[in-house]
Structure 1
Amino acid sequence: MKCGIFLLLQSPGMRPSQETYDHALEQGVLADQLGFDYIVAAEHHFSSYGFLPCPQLLIPILAERTQHIRFSTAVVVLPLRNPIQLAEEIAMLDILTKGRVEVGFGTGYQQYEFDRFGVKLEENRAMFEEALELITKLLSTENVTHQGRYWRLPETTILPRPITKPHPPFWRATSSVSTMAWSLAHGLKVITGGTASSMDRIINNWHLFQEAVELAQVPWPQEFIIQRGVYVSESEEDAKSMLPHAVWHTRTARGLSANALPVDAGRAMTELTAQGARSHLSG
């Protein structure tokens, strides 16, 4: 089993951005020193839910300050990206990290973000699949042409070329059997779960993953990547004091997904109180 840390660069209280980034870099360096296997960074936009619009810019800095730890994104939101430019960025990351990078992709889910990029959320899956196809071709072959629904490209070879062949490992975030199976069949690792995932949900996702492996007809074993929030403390009292922040995270994600949460100057206006945490758990 391998373990990593997840960097969301989240700040319910809107602390200064410089402080948020300095703290994330300190966490990454410490994770490498402690022997963790991965640093995983998430892309989000326009709210205090996440201060990291481009994980691809953070990873090279962490790579320069660390020795052994590997990196991934979880996730780059493909429908919000130009896949041609992203393929170039992935090749650069592979070189700058000396082959220590993997790339997690997602379809995206926050209506709030999609609206502000002028992208239709209901087309995210079709855009994802076309973008992934194009990125894979650009990284693994030369003289690529593409005529798709969303992107067109005359004969092109991206430079630089990745050092990992045919390309760095890819992940996909999902929790459905059909999407897991599609991802496995296309050579992607599967990441599932979430910060507030219960053990029951994790176990259920494991069973779904086993079904997906059979459906995809890929060899066993396959890597199964789980994201789950963990807080290590010397006292139960201290651990409970962090509960409102976990509840804030979950409520904010749901509110932004439905585009139903007020955001004022970037601050997601989610209740952050112990009372709110208790009502969340009881509800």
Structure 2
Amino acid sequence: MKFGLWYDFRCPPHSPVSWRETCAQTLEHIRYAEELGYDDIWLSEHHFIEDGYLPSLLPAAAAVAAVTSRVTIGTNILLAPFHHPVRLAEESALVDIISGGRFLLGLAVGYRREEFAGFGVPRQKRGAMTEEIIQIVLRCWTEDEFDFQGQFYRLQGVRATPKPVQRPRPELWVGALGPAAVRRAARYADGIIAGPEQVAQFAEALAAEGRNGDRARVALGLPWLYVSDDPERAWRELYPHLSYQINGYQRWFSEAGQPIFGTEPYADLEDLQARGPYLVGTPEQVREALAQLFVQAPAERYFWWAIPPGLPPREAVRSMELFARQVMPHFRGRQGP
């Protein structure tokens, strides 16, 4: 069982720190997370958002590699249709080399209509396009030279060098919230990045592909998790940042026809506490909630947002410390599926 933190490097208009300060403090937050014993660092991609939501994961992953020495550096999620597969394979290989073999490529199809319009990519073709991208990336990592003839990419004489450090290659995981994506993960991926609802679905999809469903590898995104000695005060202080975050996602998914966060914005603190995806509690409360989740949705890796948008990264340190010192030790040694 591994624990990770998830970062997007956002700097909203209400943030008291600059983009440069946000990046510097976030990298220091990540360095300290490794020191505290966290296993994974996850990076998330989006585009055309005023707060600078991290648009370029692989340079950020290289920066994380430079300030760490042990943690796995994963992308959750790299939006595959917006990346040329050969360039993606080359840059991923370089991150794997820089990090000494600590890179994990997590990718998915994307969902925001604005992003597909801005990149000129047909949204309705994103699934088929992503499957070609996966095939090409894997061949770039493992073959000396190849040609590829697909619907979207026609490549000749591809010789991608240097190769990754990891052998036979870095792990490739697929993000999935819907049935088609779960099947895609079962067909191509080493593991799935998903929510609790997809854990059993993935095992079934693996079995349907002739793979061992009993050994399904899952990285599970938890609700945004914050550990505090005074949860009521934490809720009040965090509310502007959490409201900004969740109402953004609620709008994006609703516009994409996937209202996983409901069809209406979260109106106020009480509404957010009642139906939002956040877990804010004491170490004891968090331990109890996670123990129940681990039984309901067993996974190899668990991760959650480390810093709500607009909160200076240095102010998110206490929660990270409390989890590492008073929650994490209670679950170390447990085995995932």
Which category describes the TM-score, using the shorter chain as reference length? 0.7 to 0.9
- Structure 2 partner of 1:5: 5
**Once the two structures are aligned, what percentage of the paired residues are identical?**
26
1:13 aligned partner, one-letter code: P
- Write out aligned runs for 1:66-145 (5 A): 66-145=68-147
The C-alpha deviation readout for 1:152-198, integer Å capped at 9, x for no partner, is: 211121111112123200111102344323312323310112xxxxx
Q: CA deviation at 1:213?
A: 3.4
Rounded Cα–Cα distance in structure 2 between residues aligned with 1:143 and 1:275: 55
1:4 aligned partner, one-letter code: G
- For the residue of structure 2 that corresponds to 1:231, the secondary structure is strand
- Structure 2 partner of 1:248: 244
- For the residue of structure 2 that corresponds to 1:175, the secondary structure is coil
The C-alpha deviation readout for 1:193-221, integer Å capped at 9, x for no partner, is: 2xxxxxxxx2x333323333333332222
CA contact (8 A) 2:190 2:217 kept: no
The number of aligned residues is 263
CA contact (8 A) 1:44 1:51 kept: yes
- Write out aligned runs for 1:131-280 (5 A): 131-193=133-195, 202=196, 204-219=197-212, 220-228=214-222, 229-241=224-236, 242-257=238-253, 275-279=267-271
2:4 aligned partner, one-letter code: G
CA contact (8 A) 2:75 2:104 kept: yes
Alpha carbons of structure 1 residues 208 and 144: separation in structure 2 relative to 1, 3 Å: same
Q: CA deviation at 1:259?
A: 5.1
Rounded Cα–Cα distance in structure 2 between residues aligned with 1:258 and 1:122: 17
Pick one of 33, 36, 39 that aligns with 1:37: 39
CA contact (8 A) 1:189 1:224 kept: yes
Q: CA deviation at 1:22?
A: 1.4
CA contact (8 A) 1:9 1:21 kept: yes
Specify every segment of 5 or more residues in structure 2 that has no aligned partner in the other structure, as ranges.
Answer: 257-264, 276-337
1:34 aligned partner, one-letter code: L
The two structures have a TM-score, normalised by structure 2, of 0.72
- Structure 2 partner of 1:27: 29
The C-alpha deviation readout for 1:237-258, integer Å capped at 9, x for no partner, is: 2331224433332221232345
Rounded Cα–Cα distance in structure 2 between residues aligned with 1:215 and 1:252: 36
Alpha carbons of structure 1 residues 257 and 275: separation in structure 2 relative to 1, 3 Å: closer
1:3 aligned partner, one-letter code: F
- Structure 1 partner of 2:288: none
- For the residue of structure 2 that corresponds to 1:162, the secondary structure is coil
Alpha carbons of structure 1 residues 182 and 114: separation in structure 2 relative to 1, 3 Å: closer
CA contact (8 A) 1:78 1:107 kept: yes
Query: Does 2:41 align with 1:46?
Result: no
1:116 aligned partner, one-letter code: G
**What is the RMSD computed on CA atoms of the aligned residues?**
2.4
CA contact (8 A) 1:44 1:52 kept: yes
Specify every segment of 5 or more residues in structure 1 that has no aligned partner in the other structure, as ranges.
Answer: 194-201, 261-271
Q: CA deviation at 1:276?
A: 3.0
1:239 aligned partner, one-letter code: A
Q: CA deviation at 1:279?
A: 4.1
CA contact (8 A) 1:39 1:70 kept: yes
CA contact (8 A) 1:5 1:38 kept: yes
